[in-house]
Amino acid sequence: MPDIGRLIKRLNAKVIYARIKTGHQFQPRWADYPRWVPVHVEYDGPYEYPDWDTDDLLEEVNRRLRIDHKQPAPGFTLGFRMAEGLPAYLWACPDCFEPASLDPSGADRNSVSCRACGATWTLDTSNRMKRPGHEVLWVCDALDRIVDHYGVPPILSAGRYESAGVVLEVEGAGVGRVERGKQPVQLAAGRLVLDAAALSVHRGAEVVWSCGLDEIRVLNVELGNVLQLRTKAGLLQLDTGEHSTLMWEHFVEAWRLLALERAAEARKVRVAAERAALSSESQP
């Protein structure tokens, strides 16, 4: 986290690093079930950083904690139902790029198949996706391929964006207000729409709920891939229908940051104009 460098300096701490080198193989982020993979913890240190500045410390901590995801799982490994949960992480097919088209397949549920193009990959415990007649594809590279396909900022359909300004949309979705210790209270249900300025819910031609992207203070994916956004109106939770919440987090966050940049630029222009007006009024 960004403040780790400041914390180390303030405590004048000795630092020992612990890297769980096979955690992403034992139970990856998407996995509903763990695999039989040896848990390899590597310790490094202690280190002291009396004369380091906070930015260099942050870079050092991240460098020493980082692991290589593209390493074969060590020793004897075994896994079943390894593709369960993967379609939420790979929110589109890495071959034809159709969103929400992947399903776990195979008797052992160690494969994932695309309903749109028919492509099928079999996973191993090292998180490699194997497909006959094709190069082995690491899951992290598959996600990068999907992200690259939809561009920066991401747009689901260029034609839909040009004709109606819609970046992303899904039917059967909605938004709820999060209350402490209770289930979210539904605010609106219908077609969830993201455009360049707002996130909204439509019922037919009517907009039943809307929130400006520049009003979203924080966007979080919580445990269970629950997508929440903190706004001026409080904490809200999105139901993204058949789409992955990770897909919506990627799209909304990219456009939210762009909206904030545009709002900041607009404020600069407005302030400059106001100062120019005051200056002209003060001239004799």
Architecture of domain 158-265: Roll (2.30)
pLDDT tens by residue, 8-26: 999 999 999 999 999 999 9
pLDDT for residue 283: 67
Q: Where are the beta strands (DSSP E) in the chain?
A: 15-20, 41-47, 102-105, 111-114, 120-123, 128-130, 137-138, 166-177, 185-195, 198-203, 206-212, 216-222, 226-231, 234-239
DSSP string, 250-261: HHHHHHHHHHHH
pLDDT for residue 221: 92
pLDDT tens by residue, 213-246: 999 999 999 888 999 999 988 999 999 999 999 9
Domain segments of the chain as ranges: 4-65, 86-150, 158-265
pLDDT for residue 238: 96
CA distance linking residue 122 with residue 113, whole number of Å:
9
pTM for this entry: 0.87
Which parts of the chain register pLDDT below 70?
A: 282-284
Environment class of 67 (CB within 10 Å of its CB; exposed 0-12, middle 13-18, buried 19+):
middle
